[in-house]
């Protein structure tokens, strides 16, 4: 099982570098880790682009956003240059599938499930969402969940940042 302190694979960094990263580096920070099945596919770019577009909103909320697939960091760089377009977030290459397996999202086909994890300051997973491979997820819903979790309050269905909390009876 993957845990804080466990090294994770190399990442493609938006400025074009490829470098190793570690989950330990994010201890004490909120972390959103989202997995997609493969690069050079059809649904994945729609998600990655929206997550990238919302990177500022995640950063304002003191959150680190990392994307992961079972492709290499070199494949990520090629995809960015030849199809996906510029992204603002690090893209981890999980060729060994250790990260996908450690988080329990490795599909029988060998690709990562379409899954999202929100991890709190202490390194505890606070939210897990997974979709069938053919259905994209909502980056905006991830942001809403993050805000609700960060509030530490009771939040209603469809609650949005700035709205009243549910009063405990």
Say what the pTM is.
0.89
What contacts 7, CB < 8 A, 6 or more positions away? 20, 22, 23
State both tokens at 20: 């190793």
Q: What does the alpha-carbon distance between residue 54 and residue 80 come to, in Å, rounded to a whole number?
A: 17
What region does 99 belong to: left with phi over 0, alpha with psi -120 to 50, or beta? Answer: alpha
Any residues with CB less than 8 A from the CB of 72 and at least 6 apart, and which?
Answer: 10, 93, 95
Length of the chain: 169
Residues classed as catalytic? 44
Give kind and range of the element (H or E) at residue 33: strand 30-35
Strand partners, 91: 12, 67
The CATH H-level (homologous superfamily) assignment of domain 7-137 is Glutaredoxin (3.40.30.10)
pLDDT digits (tens, 9 = 90+) for 104-163: 899 999 999 999 999 888 888 888 899 999 999 999 999 999 999 999 988 988 998 888
Domain map of the chain by residue range?
7-137
pLDDT for 10: 55
Burial of 106 (0-12, 13-18, 19+ CB in 10 A): buried
């Amino acid at each position: 099982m993957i845990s804080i302190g466990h090294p994770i694979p190399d990442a493609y960094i938006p400025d074009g570098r490829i470098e190793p990263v570690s989950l330990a580096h994010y201890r004490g920070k909120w972390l959103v880790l989202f997995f997609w099945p493969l690069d050079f596919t059809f649904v994945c770019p729609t998600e990655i682009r929206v997550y990238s577009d919302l990177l500022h909103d995640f950063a304002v909320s003191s959150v680190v956003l990392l994307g992961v697939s079972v492709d290499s960091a070199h494949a990520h760089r090629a995809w960015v240059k030849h199809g996906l377009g510029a992204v603002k977030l690090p893209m981890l290459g999980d060729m060994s599938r250790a990260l996908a397996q450690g988080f329990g999202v490795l599909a029988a086909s060998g690709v990562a499930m379409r899954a999202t994890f929100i991890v709190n300051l202490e390194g505890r997973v606070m939210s897990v969402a997974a979709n069938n491979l053919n259905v994209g997820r909502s980056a905006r819903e991830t942001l809403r969940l993050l805000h609700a979790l960060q509030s530490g309050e009771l939040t209603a269905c469809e609650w949005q940042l700035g709205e009243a909390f549910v009063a405990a009876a």
